[in-house]
Amino acid sequence: MKLLQLPPSDLRHQLAGNGVWLRTGPFSLRIRSRLPRVAEGLAELYGQFEVRSAHQAFADFHVELNPPSRLRRWFRPQVNFSFDGAQPFKPLPLDQAYPMLEWGLNWCVSMHAHHYLIIHAAVVEKNGLAAILPAPPGSGKSTLTAGLVLSGWRLLSDELTLIDRRTGLLHALPRPVSLKNQSIDVIRQFSPEAFINRVSHDTAKGSVAHMRPPRDSVLRQHEPARPGWVIFPKWEAGAETQLTPRSRAETFMFLAQNAFNYSHLGADGFRVGTTLIDHAHCYDFRYSALSEAVAAFDRLAERRAV
């Protein structure tokens, strides 16, 4: 059963009770919340995802979002994120409840899924090959990711690159794409048909909204991809669209430093990382126009497909 087939009243009732079981990529979630904004966000953004009765299915992660106390329902209302009964973060304002769910789920995966080497990077795929997009905040990574998946690339993840330690393949986690500040309007203008949920203002990251993942990406979420490129995007006002080859050694060092569990995996992390670099073409990428950036990526995919 897909979440979109669940009536809104049933969704709210299940969330407030035993919770909703949801499948995303290789992980199963059990989500509980009495907050209407959490139910609204799930209904708007996870409609194509598989759901089951929470009390009948195993879940990798049990999470809950609710006010920290009854008093906080009325005075400066807040929301807590709980994982297996523990609260790893400080409460946030109530209107940030849905972004907190997405941030908390990222934390769950990055801190516990050690059967993967997990890199803080977006990843998209075309013609069977994946492009890993690592970049610091403000680089235009999520904007580029959204533009690509709205133009025929498959979304594997906006935040977490999951590398199978046994096969070296990249596994998909196609949850909503996080858009911040100016990126929200950029994507609305780039693709008016894209669904973006309500904006949460004054978060630690500024104004934040989430774009619904394409249906095809969700339907193919159990299909892995081979690594094809590691590309470091950087948006610069007025910059010409340009791909510049990058040193494999330099690329490996950056990925190791930006992997959540590289040191935890020890020698196996080094093996998986070096194998990835051996099979990928590495570039720096500068752009200012999103349409030109998408065209440049399409040309890369066409050349590798030949």
The answer to whether 145 touches 177, Cβ cutoff 8 Å, is yes
Residue finishing a domain among 112, 135, 165: 112
**Would you state the pLDDT for residue 306?**
54
CA-CA-CA-CA dihedral for 115, 120, 124, 125, to nearest 10:
-40
| Whether residues 144 and 290 fall in one domain | yes
Query: Quick one: 124 and 36 in the same domain?
Result: no
Number of structural domains the chain divides into: 2
Are 85 and 124 in the same domain? no
Residues 255 and 211 in one domain: yes
Report the distance separating Cα 177 and Cα 212, nearest Å. Answer: 7
Q: What is the pLDDT of residues 184-200, one digit of tens each?
A: 999 999 999 999 999 99
Are residues 76 and 146 both part of a single domain?
A: no
Q: Which residues contact 152 (CB under 8 A, 6 or more apart)?
A: 126, 298
Verify that 95 and 138 share a domain, yes or no: no
> Backbone dihedral region of 178: left (phi > 0), alpha (psi from -120 to 50 degrees) or beta?
beta
The confidence score (pLDDT) of residue 158 equals 96
Say if residue 121 is in the same domain as residue 234.
Answer: yes
Of 117, 228, 106, the C-alpha closest to 164 is 117
On the CB side of 159, CA atoms within 13 Å amount to 17
Do residue 122 and residue 106 come from a single domain?
A: no
Model pTM greater than 0.85?
A: yes
- pLDDT at 214 (0 to 100): 96
- Which residue from 108, 99, 98, 139 is spatially nearest to 121, judged by alpha carbons? 139
Q: What is the pLDDT of residue 72?
A: 57
Burial of 249: CB neighbours in 10 Å, binned 0-12, 13-18, 19+: exposed
97 and 125 in a single domain? The answer is no
pLDDT at 162: 98
63 and 103 fall within a common domain: yes
State the residue range of the domain holding 267.
116-305
pLDDT tens per residue across all 306 residues of the chain? 999 999 999 999 999 999 999 999 999 999 999 999 999 999 999 999 999 876 667 899 999 999 987 655 666 789 999 999 899 999 999 999 999 999 999 999 999 999 999 999 999 999 999 999 998 888 889 999 999 999 999 999 999 999 999 999 999 999 999 999 999 999 999 999 999 999 999 999 999 999 999 999 999 999 999 999 999 999 999 999 999 999 999 999 999 999 999 999 999 999 999 999 999 999 999 999 999 999 999 999 998 765
pLDDT at residue 54 in the model: 62
Last residue of one domain, picked from the residues 79, 112, 145: 112
| 139 and 220 part of one domain | yes
Look at residues 64, 86, 112 and tell me which one is the last residue of a structural domain: 112
Nearest to 259 by CA among 110, 136, 103: 110
Same domain, 153 and 166: yes
How many CA atoms lie less than 13 Å away from 293 in the CB half-sphere?
A: 29
